[in-house]
A and B are shown apart, each in its own frame.
Chain A
Amino acid sequence: MKILDISLGNLKRRKLRSFLLLLSIIIGVSSSVFLFTTTRSMEQDVADKIDQFGSNLLILPKAGETLSFGGVTVGTSFGKELDISMIPLMKTIKNNETLATISPKLLAEATIQDKKVLLVGVQFADELRLKKWWKIDGLEAGQLPVANEILIGSEVARILKLSPQQLVQIKGQEFRVGGIIQPTGSIENDQAIFMDLTILQKAENKPTAINLIEAAVLCYTCPIEDVTIQLSEKLPEAKVTALQSTLESRDDTVQQFSLFATIISVILLITSGFVVAMSMISAVKERTRDIGVLRAIGFRKKHILCMFLYEVSLVSVLGGLIGFGLGMGLAMNFGSSLAQMTVQVPFQPILVLYSILAALGISLIASIYPAWKATKLDPVEALRYF
């Protein structure tokens, strides 16, 4: 017999108390694991959604004359343009799975009703995926303009007095106003006419030219710096720029999520710790006489301390393991649907270790005081205790 056997014997004997102690640890650990894994996936989900909600990467020619677009100076020099063939090349980078949307653009000037306007040639499917916040009068949700239709910024529509379905001449061709973009607050959207990229390329007699590429990169798992470097290597003639403001705003949101999850997990674990402490205080009181006997027959204080700590450690390790299994299982099976997210919660085996360590750490911290109190019991007094 060793001290550990005494601890085991006590756990077996006090089945209900041991079970409740185990249950409190399981609840604490499983809730934390569930919350942690689910919110981590939610973070990814949110990050992905934010990343898709507007571009966070801009690709421009390395030099050239400029026009302003999106607060960014863009090249318009006909000699320094990008080529549409860059798009498939972009998809060959190592982290190509992070490239959620690629939207090439050709910029041109046009005169309509004696007024100069900016024409932006886009691939409507990609552009509308990138600009999910656009509200377009005259276009149903999910509907795409056809090739001879254009989308007009609110400011252009106001100045040119254009409305949906109206016909308008641009560079000698007739286009139908497919929709008018409601005011977005940004000049580049409100003061531009968006039209099919291929048609503009033909009209400009630049069948493969583009001026810039906007991209949405899902950079939760892969730092955007890596993607920027990889793209720069693939496109040596282009300047690849990550839009830091977009990334920082995304990071702020994700960090808020992380903070929330961490706080809740810590609260849950501390609550479990209190339950453990209460249980241990009651165990010490319940076993005062036993402690007196053990001290009288020669057990040192450290033996008594070990006896209680072994006991709580056994329950904690078991609770940590079961708690991990339960929390992970729940998160993998129900996390996504409960949080209404598209990202699946992946199995994270490393959390077994963290679960056991957290359960053990919290329980030991919670037990130290009661166990220490047990060692301080006067054996004579303890033996009188009934």
Chain B
Amino acid sequence: MSLIKVDNVSKTYQGGEGAVHALKNINLEVTQGQFLALLGPSGSGKSTLLSILGALNPPTQGQVLIDDISVYGLDEERRSDFRHEYIGFVFQQYQLIPYLTALENVMLPLAITKYSDKEQREMAQRVLEKVGLGQKSMRLPNQLSGGEQNRVAIARAIVNEPVLLFADEPTGSLDSKTAKEILELFQALNRDGQTIIMVTHNLENLAYVSHSVQIRDGIIVKSPEPVVGGAV
């Protein structure tokens, strides 16, 4: 059964030079436990698709069902709640809050929950240890390397145990060794049952995913297929 069902989704932006069709009639299904790569060159529409799947960006046409919930049938505030409950994001450039420590950054999604401060700290510390940063939890983002910041971003994305983990070019600015470590971390999370969708333009990353979809000019040119030698 599909965890995500994308049904005939299109996205058109109104730009200064007329309409830009970022996505055209996208149909996609993702099942529980997949580690899916959205592959495509820069400007292909893969990040737009991720933002639509992430309940951040309403499509111009079509619908997105996650866990049988029509995401864009929800009003804006309910969609915020949905994101909080269902989705964890790892953004490009990690997007950590610079004045909060690693631990506090990881605690952010818990700040709007009923958990006590102590419980939040314990949960965040546990996740930081899981990503290998237990010893650096009190450091500010600027005291961490790029790879470490990426791990904090991953910890923040999974601290409230979302159903889906979305990552937008998570290795884009890392050296190959650190990128490998991060992809292995994603792989480990996926092995634990986490469904992951990752946007990437790097074909080498396919070695770590279970399925891939290729997008070009807003169209899926290669439907989801298992990656030979990939995860799962």
User: Using a CB–CB distance below 8 Å, which chain A residues touch chain B?
Assistant: 1-3, 5-6, 9-10, 12-14, 289-290, 292-303, 379-380, 383
Contacts and interface: CB of A to CB of B under 8 A. Distances in A.
B110 interface: yes
B97 interface: yes
The main secondary structure of chain A at its interface with chain B is: helix
A13 B85 CA distance: 29
A53 B230 CA distance: 100
B85 A298 contact: yes
B16 to A, nearest CB: 16
Contacts of B82: 298
Given A2-B111, A12-B99, A290-B97, A296 B83 contact: yes
B99 A297 contact: no
Interface of B: 51, 54, 56-57, 76-77, 80-85, 87-89, 91, 95, 97-100, 104, 107-112, 117, 120, 156-157
Contacts of B97: 6, 9, 290, 293
A380 B89 CA distance: 12
Contact of A9 (B87, B104, B110, B117): B104
Nearest to A10: B99
A264 to B, nearest CB: 38
Contact of A1 (B85, B91, B108): B108
Interface-central residue, A289, A290, A298, A383, by most chain B CB under 10 Å: A298
A293 B104 contact: no
Contact of A301 (B77, B104, B156): B77
17 contacts: A1-B107, A1-B111, A1-B117, A6-B108, A9-B100, A290-B97, A292-B95, A293-B97, A293-B108, A296-B54, A296-B83, A297-B156, A298-B81, A298-B82, A298-B109, A298-B112, A299-B84
B108 A300 contact: no
Given A296-B89, A298-B80, A380-B56, A5 B99 contact: no
B63 to A, nearest CB: 18
A1 B80 contact: no
A3 B112 contact: yes
Nearest to B52: A380
The 7 closest A-B pairs by CB, nearest first: A298-B84, A13-B99, A1-B107, A298-B83, A1-B111, A293-B95, A300-B80
A383 B156 CA distance: 16
B77 A297 contact: no
Given A13-B99, A290-B97, A303 B77 contact: no
Given A297-B156, A298-B85, A9 B99 contact: yes
Nearest to A307: B111
A297 B110 contact: no
Residue from A13, A289, A296, A299 with most neighbouring chain B CB atoms (10 Å)? A296
A290 B91 CA distance: 12
Nearest to B76: A301
Nearest to A2: B111
A3 B111 contact: yes
A249 B126 CA distance: 77
Contacts of A2: 111, 117
A308 to B, nearest CB: 14
A301 B88 CA distance: 18
Nearest to B99: A13
Nearest to B107: A1
A2 B113 CA distance: 9
Contacts of A13: 98-99
Contact of A300 (B54, B81, B110): B81
